[in-house]
């Protein structure tokens, strides 16, 4: 009797369940992965479109930008320019994976292995996710956010809410704590606190107090200047959204809460931006191993493994730089290659590997080494530590330097003895959030004077900001701050490179 | 623990609809421009369906603070080296950007235009957003109501067909119980016992006495049953109906056009566009819209749409013939109290001088009073447009009609010189009307 889990492309709930069990046995039993409990949900292609346009979350507040992204994706999809995501996985506990009804059974197996075990293991074990996200609370928090935004729209009008959200979205990248210095409340605590704040405000509202005569207005707090003021505001502050939420003189409470929601969500997604290569590499490596193992155990047939390989190889395809299809380094390809490379170094190292990666070379336990890596690195440190000369040669990586002063581009390093370390460093820097995102901080807010807010952009290697967008964002900042705002670009020599100013919006 | 696959396919779809509405709100200005342009440029059959909207990215930008695509010192690692060695140089493209293409754009969103499709409904909503039915028409709408009977509770009187049996029987039962009307079974029981005793032969004295008693009892019961009717007039309940005014949900649109030799294809096309707009407009407002096409030279005839727009005739022009034909059709098929009547007349303005008086009289005395709205558009082909653009040069018909608007608020006239004018003129006709009446 055939041991095959399935022998047609059609899936049924029964084959889904049996295949999941077989995958789980390999992933947890043999590979020793440690995922959150899984929840697999089956959706239609239209629901997939819906979900991808609200940044992949099943519950999200309403905003026009999601409508825009839906319209775009729908157009692209209908015209056949782009396919749909095969799967969406949510960093929550239990970990929710969406699979699409149109997929064949082989694809369902691939997707379950990829999302429900690969991504899931990564979410649960990587230090960034552990530190910065609250998998248990996220769905509750999103639900709260959705209700809260809807309630604000009812009370204050769609337009008013939209203005705040537009501005908050523009500052989303500047709304995260990069270095985790503060002990952050988990999202469920956030939720409880937010609800308590609202309840408190509602319970204690009594319009009578406004009319009680007598009590002279409190004496003005003595204006503080310079250092004292900066200290009180915690300047310099890199989390601009946080600063505006706490100190903006003009925002109303519900507006602050909206900023807080956007900030919390930005923080939740921040680790995913920092671990794109690793996360996809981990999931791709895991599905590759599992599918092959299913085949080795005789649980899936030749047709299924060929279909899988076809799909897998298009996912990890990396076109060369001069290929018309080239659009940057494919994180799936780089991640998968690096994971496979680590496995090779662990089990079958060369002399060169022993020199470059002494700590894992020849240790024999590939899965152990990989799990260690998945837990403790993010993209930049991962590349800096684990991009081997072997892989540099295999992908034929080279570095192109663009110096503002030079008349030419220069190839500074290729895949040779002299170039390995340089290429590796350059690629790691490409993923370094400190260099990738502009370094912009709040450096001054003259609360006692004209309340002008000063943002300082410290240019890195003289790379400027995209000017039109920067000015537009500055307008949003001024809208939230309520007074004049300026953005100063400062070079390494402390000299000013540029300066944009926006005056406070006149109240509508 | 076995995994449970949850089937979410049955969950309501269209979750992103609120997002779409918000998006359309933001992009409204551009969508409006597109819609208006489509009226001007598209061929007639295409108008009124789905529409692809192009929005310049900057209008719906979501700006973020990010690095510029070029400038400063930067390194970039590429895969797939073929022949480069360290130290090779490549010339930079002339003006900053160039062969590196879109790589500088963050998350690959470098496109200039944002394209998406709006549905036919969304299209029409925007098209007619600012157009309202003339106020006059609304007033008339209220006046000329048709009625429909609506259930309105119960009453004590009414026609037998409206008798509410359940209520009536319930009242009857209550009354019978409270007045202790003997049940038919009691009467029957007494009768049975009497019959039983009468059958005995011989009867004892006790039986005789019992028989007498029973007969008295039977008489009393049947007398009581007779006095207290099974159904009494006070029990009767009737369903009550009240006539409820119903706004008319149907309209008829008359398209009148001069097809004499002087009307060129150009002019007919303009007229057609105007008719089309009016038709779409009425379709939005009324459940049912009838179309009547009347073309005329020296005499008028009702024709089908194809003949109306596409066949030619030669001859002179007597405008009153069309008005008379319209009046005849209204009398014949469209009772004024059931139909909202709209008329649009297109002409190049020619008319026999002798017809002028008849025509005016017919219009003001017979046609306008029964119309919700009568719009006259005078069309010009491009050659004439230059000559007639100044309002000093006006046609005969225009001259006649000019005396009308003052007296009749439901009459409007406009001149259309080019395709681009059609929509603005249409818009003006209706918004002016609204403002004038407001």
Tell me the chain B residues in contact with residue A162 when contact means C-beta distances shorter than 8 Å.
22, 26
C-beta atoms of A408 and B91 within 8 A: yes
Tell me the chain A residues in contact with residue B70 when contact means C-beta distances shorter than 8 Å.
402
B60 Cα to chain A: minimum distance (Å): 8
pLDDT band at B111 (very low <50, low <70, confident <90, very high): very low
A350 to each of A52, A346, A355, A371, A393, how far by Cα in Å?
43, 10, 9, 22, 14
Relative to beta strand A453-458, strand A485-490 is parallel
More confident residue, B97 or B355: B355
CA distance A343 to A386: 11
Residues B230 and B276 in one domain: no
C-beta atoms of B72 and A174 within 8 A: no
B303 to each of B255, B293, B340, how far by Cα in Å?
10, 6, 21
pLDDT band at B41 (very low <50, low <70, confident <90, very high): low
Query: Contact, A457 vs A438, CB < 8 A?
Result: yes
pLDDT band at A26 (very low <50, low <70, confident <90, very high): very high
In a domain, B417, yes or no: yes
pLDDT of residue B119: 74
Residues B290 and B345 in one domain: yes
pLDDT of residue B146: 60
- End position of a domain, from candidates B220, B240, B260: B240
Tell me the chain A residues in contact with residue B13 when contact means C-beta distances shorter than 8 Å.
44, 46-47, 50
Tell me the chain B residues in contact with residue A430 when contact means C-beta distances shorter than 8 Å.
75-77
CA distance B394 to A202: 70
Tell me the chain B residues in contact with residue A50 when contact means C-beta distances shorter than 8 Å.
13-16
Residues B235 and B252 in one domain: no
Tell me the chain A residues in contact with residue B117 when contact means C-beta distances shorter than 8 Å.
71, 75
C-beta atoms of B71 and A463 within 8 A: yes
Query: Contact, A100 vs A3, CB < 8 A?
Result: no
Tell me the chain A residues in contact with residue B78 when contact means C-beta distances shorter than 8 Å.
321, 329, 397-400
C-beta atoms of A429 and B75 within 8 A: yes
pLDDT band at B424 (very low <50, low <70, confident <90, very high): confident
The residue of chain A nearest to residue B82, with distances taken between CA atoms, is A396
pLDDT per residue as tens digits for the range B288-333: 778 888 888 878 888 887 777 777 677 777 888 888 888 888 888 8
| Domains held by chain B: number | 2
In a domain, B385, yes or no: yes
Characterize B408-436 residue by residue with b for buried, 16 or more Cβ atoms within 10 angstroms of its Cβ, and e for exposed: bbbbbbbbbbebebbbebbbebbeebbee
Query: Contact, A481 vs A248, CB < 8 A?
Result: yes
pLDDT of residue B97: 42
Question: If you average pLDDT over every residue of chain B, what do you get?
Answer: 76
Picking from A71, A465, A466, the nearest residue to B23 by CB comes out as A71
Strand partners, B90: A409
A45 Cα to chain B: minimum distance (Å): 9
pLDDT of residue A199: 80
What helix, strand, coil percent values describe chain B, rounded to 5?
45, 20, 35
State which H helix or E strand residue A89 sits in. Answer: strand A87-90
The pLDDT of A414-421, averaged and rounded, is 90
C-beta atoms of B73 and A404 within 8 A: yes
pLDDT per residue as tens digits for the range A111-122: 999 999 999 999
Q: What are phi and psi of B255, to 5 degrees?
A: -105, 115
* CA-CA-CA-CA dihedral for A381, A382, A383, A385, to nearest 10: 80
pLDDT of residue B342: 84
B15 Cα to chain A: minimum distance (Å): 6
The pLDDT of A191-214, averaged and rounded, is 74
- End position of a domain, from candidates B184, B208, B240: B240
C-beta atoms of A53 and B73 within 8 A: no
C-beta atoms of B3 and A67 within 8 A: no
Tell me the chain A residues in contact with residue B85 when contact means C-beta distances shorter than 8 Å.
411, 414, 416
CA distance B251 to B282: 8
Flag the least confident range among A322-326, B126-130, B202-206.
B126-130
C-beta atoms of A402 and B73 within 8 A: yes
In a domain, B143, yes or no: no
Query: Contact, B137 vs B436, CB < 8 A?
Result: no
- End position of a domain, from candidates B204, B224, B240: B240
Q: Is the pLDDT of residue A446 over 70?
A: yes
In a domain, B409, yes or no: yes
Residues B208 and B319 in one domain: no
Query: Contact, A262 vs A317, CB < 8 A?
Result: no
The residue of chain B nearest to residue A324, with distances taken between CA atoms, is B101
Picking from B60, B74, B77, the nearest residue to A423 by CB comes out as B77
Picking from A327, A401, A407, the nearest residue to B75 by CB comes out as A401
Residues B227 and B330 in one domain: no
C-beta atoms of B23 and A419 within 8 A: no
Residues B309 and B432 in one domain: yes
Burial bucket for residue B168 (CB in 10 Å: 0-12, 13-18, 19+): middle
Q: What is the DSSP letter of A116?
A: I
- Measuring CA to CA, which residue among A221, A223, A135 is closest to residue A186? A135
C-beta atoms of B81 and A464 within 8 A: no
Picking from A162, A395, A413, the nearest residue to B86 by CB comes out as A413
More confident residue, B258 or A163: A163
pLDDT of residue B149: 78
Highest mean pLDDT among A264-278, B111-125, B218-232: A264-278
C-beta atoms of B3 and A408 within 8 A: no
What is the pTM for the complete model shown?
Answer: 0.69
Report the complex ipTM.
0.83
Relative to beta strand A408-413, strand A398-402 is antiparallel
A506 Cα to chain B: minimum distance (Å): 21
CA distance B426 to B359: 24
B50 Cα to chain A: minimum distance (Å): 13
* Farthest CA pair distance, chain A: 92
Tokens read off for A171: 């500052």
Q: Is A67 left (phi over 0), alpha (psi -120 to 50) or beta?
A: alpha
CA distance B414 to B377: 5
Picking from B67, B114, B117, the nearest residue to A463 by CB comes out as B67
Residues B289 and B223 in one domain: no
Tell me the chain A residues in contact with residue B61 when contact means C-beta distances shorter than 8 Å.
469, 472
Tell me the chain A residues in contact with residue B91 when contact means C-beta distances shorter than 8 Å.
407-409
Flag the least confident range among A6-10, B98-102, B235-239, B266-270.
B98-102
- In degrees, to the nearest 5, what angle opens at C-alpha A338 toward C-alphas A333 and A340? 95
Picking from B20, B73, B91, the nearest residue to A67 by CB comes out as B20
C-beta atoms of A464 and B74 within 8 A: no
A222 Cβ contact list (under 8 Å, min separation 6): none
pLDDT of residue B250: 75
B374 Cα to chain A: minimum distance (Å): 40
C-beta atoms of A42 and B69 within 8 A: no
The pLDDT of A440-469, averaged and rounded, is 88
Q: Give the rounded distance of the alpha carbon of A287 from its chain centre.
A: 22
A146 Cα to chain B: minimum distance (Å): 12
pLDDT per residue as tens digits for the range A72-86: 887 777 776 666 677
Tell me the chain B residues in contact with residue A327 when contact means C-beta distances shorter than 8 Å.
103, 108
More confident residue, A457 or B300: A457
C-beta atoms of B66 and A437 within 8 A: yes
pLDDT band at B138 (very low <50, low <70, confident <90, very high): very low
Question: Best interface-test mutation with B: which of A21, A28, A67, A79 has the largest number of B CBs within 10 A?
Answer: A67
Picking from A169, A395, A404, the nearest residue to B71 by CB comes out as A404
Tell me the chain B residues in contact with residue A42 when contact means C-beta distances shorter than 8 Å.
5-9
pLDDT of residue B141: 42
The residue of chain A nearest to residue B13, with distances taken between CA atoms, is A47
Strand partners, A314: none
The pLDDT of B193-220, averaged and rounded, is 85
Q: Is the pLDDT of residue A397 over 80?
A: yes
Query: Contact, B35 vs B131, CB < 8 A?
Result: no
List chain A domain ranges: 13-126+275-310, 316-434
B288 Cα to chain A: minimum distance (Å): 33
C-beta atoms of A321 and B78 within 8 A: yes
pLDDT of residue A425: 93
- Measuring CA to CA, which residue among A462, A448, A435, A63 is closest to residue A224? A448
Q: Is the pLDDT of residue A508 over 70?
A: no
- Site of tokens 């300066």: A499
C-beta atoms of B74 and A399 within 8 A: no
C-beta atoms of B75 and A402 within 8 A: yes
Residues B315 and B183 in one domain: no
Domain that holds residue B333: 247-437
B97 to each of A5, A404, B106, how far by Cα in Å?
53, 13, 14
How many CB pairs (< 8 A) connect A and B?
A: 256
Q: What's the CATH number where B254 sits?
A: 3.40.50.410
pLDDT per residue as tens digits for the range A30-41: 999 999 999 999
């Amino acid at each position: 009797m055939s041991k095959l889990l399935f022998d047609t492309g059609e899936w049924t709930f029964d084959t889904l369940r049996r295949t999941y069990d077989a995958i789980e046995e390999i992933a947890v039993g043999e590979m020793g992965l440690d995922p959150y409990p899984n929840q697999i949900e089956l959706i239609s292609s239209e629901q997939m479109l819906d979900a991808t346009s609200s940044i992949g979350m099943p519950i999200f507040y309403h905003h026009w930008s999601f409508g825009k992204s839906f319209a775009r994706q729908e157009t692209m999809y209908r015209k056949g320019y782009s396919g749909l995501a095969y799967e969406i996985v949510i960093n929550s506990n239990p970990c929710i994976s969406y699979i699409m009804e149109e997929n064949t059974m082989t694809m369902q197996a691939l997707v379950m292995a990829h999302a429900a075990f690969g991504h899931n293991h990564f979410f649960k074990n990587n230090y960034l996710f552990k530190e910065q996200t609250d998998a248990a609370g996220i769905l509750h928090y999103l639900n709260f956010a959705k209700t809260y935004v809807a309630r604000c729209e009812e009370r204050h009008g769609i337009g008013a809410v939209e203005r705040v959200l537009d501005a908050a979205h523009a500052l989303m990248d500047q709304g995260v704590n990069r270095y985790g210095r503060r002990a952050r409340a988990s999202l469920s605590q956030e939720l409880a606190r937010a609800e308590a704040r609202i309840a408190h405000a509602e319970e204690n509202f009594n319009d009578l107090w406004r009319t009680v005569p007598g009590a002279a207005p409190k004496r003005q707090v003595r204006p503080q200047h310079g250092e004292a003021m900066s200290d009180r505001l915690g300047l310099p502050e890199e989390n601009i959204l946080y600063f505006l939420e706490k100190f903006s003189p003009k925002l109303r409470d519900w507006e602050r809460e909206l900023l807080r929601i956007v900030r919390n969500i930005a923080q939740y997604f921040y680790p995913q931006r920092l671990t794109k290569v690793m996360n996809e590499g981990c999931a791709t490596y895991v599905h590759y191993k599992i599918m092959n193992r299913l085949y080795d155990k005789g649980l899936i047939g030749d047709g299924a493994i060929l279909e899988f390989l076809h799909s897998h190889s298009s996912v990890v395809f990396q076109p060369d730089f001069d290929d018309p299809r080239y659009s940057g380094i494919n994180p799936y390809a780089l991640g998968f290659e690096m994971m496979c490379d680590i496995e090779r170094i662990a089990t079958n190292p060369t002399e060169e590997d022993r020199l470059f990666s002494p700590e894992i070379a020849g240790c024999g336990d590939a899965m152990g080494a990989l799990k260690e890596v998945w837990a403790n690195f993010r993209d930049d440190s991962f590349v800096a530590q684990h991009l081997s000369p072997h892989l540099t040669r295999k992908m034929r990586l080279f570095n192109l330097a663009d110096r503002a002063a030079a008349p030419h581009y220069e190839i500074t390093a290729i895949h040779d003895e002299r170039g390995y370390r340089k290429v590796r460093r350059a690629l790691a820097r490409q993923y370094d959030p400190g260099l990738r995102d502009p370094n912009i901080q709040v450096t001054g807010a003259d609360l006692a004077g004209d309340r002008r807010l000063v943002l300082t952009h410290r240019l890195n290697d003289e790379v400027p900001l995209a000017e039109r967008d920067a000015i537009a964002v500055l307008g949003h900042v001024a809208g939230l701050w309520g007074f004049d705002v300026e953005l100063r670009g400062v070079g390494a020599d402390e000299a000013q490179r540029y300066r944009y100013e926006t005056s406070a919006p006149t109240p509508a | 623990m076995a995994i449970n696959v949850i089937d979410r396919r049955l969950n309501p779809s269209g979750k992103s609809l609120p997002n779409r509405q918000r998006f359309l709100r933001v992009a409204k200005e551009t969508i409006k421009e597109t819609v208006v342009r489509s009226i001007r440029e598209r061929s007639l059959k295409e108008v009124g369906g789905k529409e692809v909207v192009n929005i310049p990215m900057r209008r719906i930008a979501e700006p973020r603070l990010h690095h510029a695509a070029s400038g400063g010192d930067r390194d970039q690692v590429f895969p797939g080296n073929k022949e480069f060695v360290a130290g090779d140089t490549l010339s930079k493209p002339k003006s900053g950007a160039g062969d590196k293409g879109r790589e500088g754009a963050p998350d690959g969103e470098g496109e200039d235009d944002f394209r998406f499709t709006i549905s036919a409904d969304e299209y029409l909503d925007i098209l007619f957003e600012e157009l309202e039915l003339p106020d006059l028409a609304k007033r008339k709408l209220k006046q000329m109501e048709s009625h429909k009977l609506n259930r309105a509770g119960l009453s004590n009187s009414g026609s037998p067909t409206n008798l509410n049996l359940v209520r009536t029987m319930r009242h009857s039962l209550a009354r019978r119980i409270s007045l202790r009307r003997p049940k038919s079974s009691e009467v029957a029981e007494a009768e049975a016992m009497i019959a039983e005793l009468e059958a005995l032969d011989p009867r004892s004295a006790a039986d005789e006495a019992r028989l007498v008693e029973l007969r008295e009892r039977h008489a009393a019961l049947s007398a009581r049953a007779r006095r207290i009717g099974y159904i009494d007039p006070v029990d009767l309940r009737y369903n009550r109906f009240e006539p409820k005014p119903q706004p008319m949900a149907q309209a008829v649109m008359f398209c009148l056009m001069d097809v004499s030799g002087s009307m060129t294809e150009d002019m007919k096309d303009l007229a057609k566009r105007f008719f089309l707009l009016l038709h779409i407009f009425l379709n939005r407002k009324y459940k049912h819209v009838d179309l009547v096409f009347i073309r005329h030279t020296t005499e008028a005839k009702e024709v089908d749409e194809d003949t109306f727009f596409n066949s030619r005739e030669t001859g002179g022009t007597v405008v009153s013939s069309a008005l008379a034909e319209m009046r005849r059709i209204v009398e014949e098929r469209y009772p004024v109290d059931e139909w909202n009547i709209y008329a649009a007349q297109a002409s190049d303005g020619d008319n026999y001088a002798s017809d002028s008086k008849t025509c005016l009289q017919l219009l003001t005395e017979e046609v306008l009073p029964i119309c919700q709205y009568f719009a006259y558009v005078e069309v010009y082909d491009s050659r004439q447009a230059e000559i007639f653009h100044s309002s000093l040069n006006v046609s005969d018909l225009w001259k006649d009609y000019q005396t009308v608007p003052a007296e009749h608020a439901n009459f409007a006239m406009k001149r259309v010189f080019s395709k681009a004018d059609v929509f603005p003129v249409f818009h003006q006709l209706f918004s002016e009307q609204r403002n004038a009446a407001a």
